[in-house]
Amino acid sequence: MAEVKIKLGVCFSCENSTFTLSDETGLYNVTTNLYGWYATGSGDDQFGIDDVVSSTLIVTSPNGVVYGPYSILASLPALDGTTITIDPTDILSQTPAVGEAFSDGIWIFDWEIVGNRENTQVFPIRNTPFRSRCVVQRFPLCTVECCVNGLVAKGSCNCGNGGDKKSQNAYLTLVAAKGAWKNGQHETAKKHLGRLEAICNNNCKDC
């Protein structure tokens, strides 16, 4: 029996404050994708998207608030490029404040599917349940990056003496936060984010 390991693609747009989700599992290939989906109509011992009976998403915010589970079976899994776009209206509140956006920090996306493959080639008919889960983390830094870009553009942090040095330190801290996250040093990245938020909340917020 083949095994399916789902893959969730998550992209974040600072401009629109949206997360876009997609199924990156792909089609099964004997050499390049052993854990992909089988095409509809494949053999009775091969898992396809049509066999999925439940597809749920749970989203956890940087401050630990859990949203969901949401049923996304109508959209994912998919092999046709279907995507889901999540904005603040979808999970933060039904009537978000004007300009409300997703906060900076670690967002966790937990996608799980449950399915059942019916084998009609044997008698009695054999049902084979299956399950797969994928957890993805993203680290948007939209607010602090906007702040830092503004400080660098002005060449001053506008916080009294040493403004130029403070803006330079803010930029280097932003670079360090991104680098730490890319290298898997998530706790270090969070500490850098905390420093940036302190700078941006000290009369250095507007950009």
Are 52 and 150 found together in one domain?
no
Work out the widest C-alpha separation in the chain, in whole angstroms. Answer: 83
CA 21 to chain centre: 7
Are 84 and 107 found together in one domain?
yes
- Tell me the residue range of the domain where 101 lies: 8-138
Contact residues for 99 (Cβ-Cβ < 8 A; gap 6+): none
Question: Could you report the per-residue pLDDT of 141-161, keeping only the tens digit for each?
Answer: 999 999 999 888 876 555 454
Question: Could you report the per-residue pLDDT of 38-83, keeping only the tens digit for each?
Answer: 886 555 567 899 999 999 999 999 999 899 999 999 999 999 999 9
Are 119 and 170 found together in one domain?
no
When comparing pLDDT for 99 and 26, which is higher?
Answer: 26
Are 178 and 149 found together in one domain?
yes
In a domain, 206, yes or no: no
In a domain, 194, yes or no: yes
d(CA 46, CA 42) in angstroms, rounded, equals: 7
Q: Which two tokens stand for residue 12?
A: 């974040």
- What mean pLDDT do residues 106-116 have? 96
Rounded to two decimals, what is the model's pTM? 0.86
115 has which bridge partners? 52, 130
pLDDT of residue 177: 98
Question: Could you report the per-residue pLDDT of 172-187, keeping only the tens digit for each?
Answer: 999 999 999 999 999 9
pLDDT of residue 207: 43
pLDDT bin (cut points 50, 70, 90) of residue 206 is very low
d(CA 105, CA 172) in angstroms, rounded, equals: 18
DSSP 29: B
Contact residues for 22 (Cβ-Cβ < 8 A; gap 6+): 8, 9, 11, 76, 78, 81, 82, 83, 84
Of 138, 161, 182, the residue that ends a domain is 138
The number of distinct structural domains making up the chain is 2
For Cα atoms 108, 33, 46, give the angle at the middle one, nearest 5 degrees: 95
Of 114, 138, 162, the residue that ends a domain is 138
Q: Is 29 buried (19+), middle (13-18) or exposed (0-12) by CB count in 10 A? A: exposed
pLDDT of residue 176: 98
Mean pLDDT value across the chain? 86
Tell the residue number behind the tokens 């941006």, with chain if given.
200
Of 138, 162, 192, the residue that ends a domain is 138
pLDDT of residue 205: 47
